[in-house]
Amino acid sequence: MTDLSQPVAAKAWSLAEVEALYALPFNDLLFQAQNIHRQTFDPNAVQLSTLLSIKTGGCSEDCGYCSQSARHDTGLEREKLLDVPAVVEAAKAAKEAGATRFCMGAAWRGPKDKDLGAVAEMVREVKALGMETCVTLGMLKPGQAEQLKEAGLDYYNHNLDTAAEFYGQVITTHTHNDRLNTLTQVREAGIHVCCGGIIGMGESRRIRAGLVMELANLNPQPESVPINMLVKVPGTPMAQGADLDPFEFVRTVAVARITMPASHVRLSAGRQELGEAVQALCFLAGANSIFCGDRLLTTGNPEADADNALFSKLGLHGEPVQGRRCAS
């Protein structure tokens, strides 16, 4: 396997090249993705993360998929920022269940300085448990990434969501470049990047290829790449669209693996709707990370018993971190 402690040289991908991968016969695409996956990773190891909403609802942004936008009537109750002890207890439970990374998400356009101090304390306390830490807080202002780095943050999640040319059909209250600006601040602060997107929002395959191309051409490439399938939340503008073909989801995972060989590719939102067979194809296509736990911010996720049963059927195990192997 490739030594991940050394920088991995990434090629520059063109849209035509990524589209050509999508167009391969399904078996050929998965064969290529699995071969590349085995060059870098244990093919039967899956990194386990848990995601906790530390501040729910009331976001000022108009993201068309999001249940937490104040502009959409989804019936979601707003909740204030959790206190630090509650977050630490949740992290302890996640670690006990086998998670090696604890992700904390807040429904903000971006964190206010008065709130960032509390989040930094959460990061310090979770880090002290021996877990990797990740937060998703929206767009950052100058100096905020450095404050999170000082607290010990390992990863910052900020998804591109979709390709630049489709972005305005999903979100209008901030731009694609705003997202890239936050990612630049995160990199400059020395924090690992967790960045992916959402498919099934009515975009074409060309748009999906454009998203993967943009992710793969980030320099350096994201260490974690969450691939989300749209969860249709009643009350959001995208709740009524057509369902995505599950094989197209698998293709997206495979293309992400081929173009980003050293990244963890995570099955994120929508995994509950995929079922066991499609998830198995995703692991064959190179997915090697999942969110475990029964909630993803505000939407459902397979319960631990279901994941344990699936791992047992497929012979998968949790990926070790810092010499420690997590439960399977």
Active-site residue list: 59, 63, 66, 103, 134, 194, 266
Residue-level length of the chain: 328
CB 195 within 8 A of CB 157: yes
Distance CA 125, CA 6 (A): 29
Distance CA 234, CA 11 (A): 41
Closest CA to 107 of 299, 302, 301, 298: 298
Burial annotation 158-176 (CB, 10 A radius, 16+ → b, else e): bbbbbbbebbeebbeebeb
Q: What is the residue whose two structure tokens read 């990047």?
A: 193
Burial annotation 13-49 (CB, 10 A radius, 16+ → b, else e): beeeebbebbebeeeebbebbbebbeebbebebbbbb
C-alpha 300, offset from chain centre: 15
Instruction: State phi, psi for 48 to the nearest 5 degrees.
Output: -110, 125
Burial annotation 284-302 (CB, 10 A radius, 16+ → b, else e): bbbbbbbbbbeebbbeebb
The DSSP secondary-structure symbol of 60 reads S
| SS3 at position 305 | helix
Q: What is the residue whose two structure tokens read 């991968």?
A: 21
- Cis check for the bond before 220: say yes or no (omega within 30 of 0): yes
Q: What is the residue whose two structure tokens read 């000022």?
A: 60
